[in-house]
Amino acid sequence: MHQETDSIITGVVDERKGRLLVDISEDVTSTHVSELRRGLMEILETAGSSSWKALYLDIRNARMVDSMGMNWLFAESVRLKEMNKTFVIRISSPAIHRVMQFAGLDKLVTLKYRRRRQTR
């Protein structure tokens, strides 16, 4: 899959498990949403839709998700549902996990929350 090396969003299909694995290296905020939207569209076009059943969005590197970021995640959940795909979001921040639950995103997607070990 062709991705620029300085992109904040990358993706690869794990055909063995039927997953599209997408990794975001920055916060999911208004500053990045247009790049994230564009990047995910390119990843979806490149991957096609026949080789995967679930999109795993890894935002464990994010320290923050703002209202624009949440809006984008809700919109993507609707689009993936229309494609008959499962949407799984991997989170490591307790604050982001609480915000997503409070907003009700956990009713539309699967949240995989695992707190990262402290390295300090």
DSSP state of 118: P
pTM, 2 dp: 0.90
| CA 33 – CA 56 distance, rounded (Å) | 18
pLDDT above 70 for 120: no
9 has pLDDT over 70: yes
Question: Predicted confidence band at 30 (pLDDT cuts at 50, 70, 90)?
Answer: very high
DSSP string, 79-112: HHHHTT-EEEEEE--HHHHHHHHHHTGGGTSEEE
